[in-house]
Protein backbone atom coordinates (compact mmCIF):
# COMPACT_ATOMS: atom_id res chain seq x y z
CA UNK A 1 0.00 0.00 0.00
CA UNK A 2 1.32 3.43 -0.93
CA UNK A 3 2.17 5.88 1.82
CA UNK A 4 0.16 9.04 2.44
CA UNK A 5 3.13 11.00 1.10
CA UNK A 6 3.13 9.00 -2.15
CA UNK A 7 -0.61 9.55 -2.50
CA UNK A 8 -0.20 13.29 -1.87
CA UNK A 9 2.44 13.48 -4.62
CA UNK A 10 0.11 11.71 -7.06
CA UNK A 11 -2.80 14.00 -6.13
CA UNK A 12 -0.51 16.98 -6.77
CA UNK A 13 0.11 15.67 -10.30
CA UNK A 14 -3.64 15.37 -10.87
CA UNK A 15 -4.34 18.87 -9.51
CA UNK A 16 -1.69 20.33 -11.86
CA UNK A 17 -3.35 18.39 -14.69
CA UNK A 18 -6.70 20.08 -13.98
CA UNK A 19 -5.38 23.47 -15.16
CA UNK A 20 -3.96 22.41 -18.52
CA UNK A 21 -5.92 22.31 -21.79
CA UNK A 22 -4.63 19.64 -24.21
CA UNK A 23 -6.68 16.46 -24.71
CA UNK A 24 -6.41 13.48 -27.04
CA UNK A 25 -9.79 12.17 -25.76
CA UNK A 26 -12.38 14.58 -27.13
CA UNK A 27 -15.38 12.87 -25.54
CA UNK A 28 -13.99 12.94 -21.98
CA UNK A 29 -13.84 16.05 -19.82
CA UNK A 30 -10.61 16.79 -17.97
CA UNK A 31 -12.44 17.42 -14.68
CA UNK A 32 -14.22 14.06 -14.97
CA UNK A 33 -10.88 12.26 -15.33
CA UNK A 34 -9.20 14.24 -12.54
CA UNK A 35 -12.00 13.49 -10.06
CA UNK A 36 -11.88 9.77 -10.92
CA UNK A 37 -8.11 9.63 -10.56
CA UNK A 38 -8.12 11.25 -7.10
CA UNK A 39 -10.80 8.81 -5.93
CA UNK A 40 -8.70 5.87 -7.15
CA UNK A 41 -5.41 7.21 -5.79
CA UNK A 42 -7.03 7.45 -2.35
CA UNK A 43 -8.67 4.02 -2.72
CA UNK A 44 -7.37 1.74 -5.52
CA UNK A 45 -10.22 -0.71 -4.82
CA UNK A 46 -12.44 1.78 -6.70
CA UNK A 47 -10.73 0.75 -9.97
CA UNK A 48 -13.45 -1.25 -11.65
CA UNK A 49 -14.02 -3.30 -14.77
CA UNK A 50 -17.56 -4.25 -13.74
CA UNK A 51 -19.21 -2.62 -16.78
CA UNK A 52 -16.44 -3.25 -19.33
CA UNK A 53 -15.01 -6.79 -19.15
CA UNK A 54 -11.51 -5.38 -18.73
CA UNK A 55 -10.76 -7.41 -15.63
CA UNK A 56 -7.22 -8.42 -16.59
CA UNK A 57 -6.29 -4.79 -17.14
CA UNK A 58 -8.12 -3.76 -13.95
CA UNK A 59 -6.09 -6.20 -11.89
CA UNK A 60 -2.82 -4.87 -13.26
CA UNK A 61 -3.83 -1.22 -12.90
CA UNK A 62 -5.02 -1.82 -9.33
CA UNK A 63 -1.56 -3.18 -8.49
CA UNK A 64 0.10 -0.18 -10.13
CA UNK A 65 -2.12 2.35 -8.33
CA UNK A 66 -1.55 0.64 -5.02
CA UNK A 67 2.24 0.33 -5.38
CA UNK A 68 3.01 3.58 -7.21
CA UNK A 69 0.14 6.09 -7.30
CA UNK A 70 2.27 8.69 -9.12
CA UNK A 71 3.05 6.24 -11.95
CA UNK A 72 -0.68 5.48 -12.18
CA UNK A 73 -1.56 9.19 -12.28
CA UNK A 74 1.16 9.95 -14.87
CA UNK A 75 -0.05 7.09 -17.06
CA UNK A 76 -3.65 8.34 -17.10
CA UNK A 77 -2.60 11.98 -17.61
CA UNK A 78 -0.22 11.12 -20.45
CA UNK A 79 -2.86 8.95 -22.12
CA UNK A 80 -5.29 11.87 -21.93
CA UNK A 81 -2.91 14.63 -23.02
CA UNK A 82 -0.47 12.84 -25.35
CA UNK A 83 -2.47 9.85 -26.56
CA UNK A 84 0.07 7.44 -25.10
CA UNK A 85 1.64 6.64 -21.77
CA UNK A 86 4.46 4.61 -20.35
CA UNK A 87 5.00 2.45 -17.28
CA UNK A 88 8.63 1.44 -16.99
CA UNK A 89 9.44 -0.07 -20.41
CA UNK A 90 5.82 -0.71 -21.45
CA UNK A 91 4.40 1.90 -23.85
CA UNK A 92 0.62 2.05 -23.94
CA UNK A 93 -0.77 3.70 -27.06
CA UNK A 94 -4.50 3.28 -27.73
CA UNK A 95 -5.89 3.61 -31.25
CA UNK A 96 -7.40 6.84 -32.53
CA UNK A 97 -10.75 5.03 -32.75
CA UNK A 98 -10.69 4.24 -29.03
CA UNK A 99 -9.72 7.81 -28.15
CA UNK A 100 -12.81 9.09 -30.02
CA UNK A 101 -15.27 7.04 -27.98
CA UNK A 102 -17.30 8.31 -25.07
CA UNK A 103 -17.06 6.50 -21.76
CA UNK A 104 -19.54 3.61 -21.98
CA UNK A 105 -22.36 3.67 -19.43
CA UNK A 106 -21.46 2.26 -16.03
CA UNK A 107 -17.74 3.09 -16.41
CA UNK A 108 -15.73 5.89 -14.86
CA UNK A 109 -13.51 8.00 -17.13
CA UNK A 110 -10.40 7.17 -15.07
CA UNK A 111 -11.03 3.45 -15.43
CA UNK A 112 -12.03 3.60 -19.10
CA UNK A 113 -9.00 5.58 -20.30
CA UNK A 114 -6.42 3.43 -18.55
CA UNK A 115 -8.04 -0.01 -18.77
CA UNK A 116 -9.28 0.24 -22.36
CA UNK A 117 -5.98 1.78 -23.48
CA UNK A 118 -4.00 -1.02 -21.90
CA UNK A 119 -6.15 -3.64 -23.59
CA UNK A 120 -6.24 -1.81 -26.93
CA UNK A 121 -2.57 -0.88 -27.16
CA UNK A 122 -1.22 -4.37 -27.80
CA UNK A 123 -3.45 -4.74 -30.88
CA UNK A 124 -4.06 -8.42 -30.20
CA UNK A 125 -7.58 -7.23 -29.43
CA UNK A 126 -8.88 -4.65 -31.91
CA UNK A 127 -11.27 -1.95 -30.73
CA UNK A 128 -14.19 -1.78 -33.15
CA UNK A 129 -16.05 1.12 -31.55
CA UNK A 130 -18.87 -1.24 -30.55
CA UNK A 131 -19.80 -2.28 -27.05
CA UNK A 132 -17.79 -5.14 -25.63
CA UNK A 133 -19.64 -8.47 -25.61
CA UNK A 134 -21.84 -9.12 -22.58
CA UNK A 135 -21.19 -12.85 -22.65
CA UNK A 136 -17.85 -14.58 -22.34
CA UNK A 137 -18.96 -17.39 -24.66
CA UNK A 138 -16.45 -17.36 -27.52
CA UNK A 139 -15.36 -13.86 -26.62
CA UNK A 140 -11.76 -12.84 -26.19
CA UNK A 141 -10.40 -12.17 -22.74
CA UNK A 142 -6.96 -10.93 -21.82
CA UNK A 143 -4.36 -11.51 -19.19
CA UNK A 144 -2.74 -8.47 -17.55
CA UNK A 145 0.00 -6.58 -19.39
CA UNK A 146 1.84 -6.23 -16.12
CA UNK A 147 1.59 -7.83 -12.72
CA UNK A 148 2.80 -6.70 -9.36
CA UNK A 149 4.97 -8.56 -6.91
CA UNK A 150 3.04 -7.99 -3.68
CA UNK A 151 6.03 -8.71 -1.42
CA UNK A 152 8.46 -6.27 -3.01
CA UNK A 153 5.93 -3.81 -4.41
CA UNK A 154 7.77 -3.88 -7.72
CA UNK A 155 5.95 -3.96 -11.04
CA UNK A 156 7.04 -6.53 -13.60
CA UNK A 157 6.10 -6.19 -17.26
CA UNK A 158 4.81 -9.15 -19.22
CA UNK A 159 3.33 -9.25 -22.71
CA UNK A 160 -0.43 -9.05 -23.10
CA UNK A 161 -1.79 -12.18 -24.70
CA UNK A 162 -5.28 -13.17 -25.66
CA UNK A 163 -7.09 -16.36 -24.74
CA UNK A 164 -10.13 -17.75 -26.48
CA UNK A 165 -12.86 -19.11 -24.24
Q: Which tens digit of pLDDT belongs to each residue from 96-144?
A: 999 999 999 999 999 999 999 999 986 433 334 444 444 333 233 444 4
| pLDDT for the residue 1 | 83
Q: CB of 27 within 8 A of CB of 102?
A: yes
Q: What is the mean pLDDT of the chain?
A: 80
Domain ranges of the chain: 4-164
Residue 52 reports pLDDT greater than 50: yes
pLDDT in tens, 61-99: 999 999 999 999 999 999 999 999 999 989 999 999 999
The model's pTM: 0.74
| pLDDT for the residue 26 | 86
pLDDT in tens, 20-37: 888 999 899 999 999 999
pLDDT in tens, 141-157: 444 444 443 334 444 33
| pLDDT for the residue 159 | 37
| pLDDT for the residue 85 | 96
Cα angle value 145/121/152 (rounded, 5°): 25
Burial class (CB within 10 angstroms; exposed 0-12, middle 13-18, buried 19+) of 121: buried
Amino acid sequence: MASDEAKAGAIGLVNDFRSRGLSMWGAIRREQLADGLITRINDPTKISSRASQLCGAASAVYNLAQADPSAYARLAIDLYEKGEGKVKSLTIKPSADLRKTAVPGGNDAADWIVLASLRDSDRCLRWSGRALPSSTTSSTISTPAWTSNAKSGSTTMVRLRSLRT
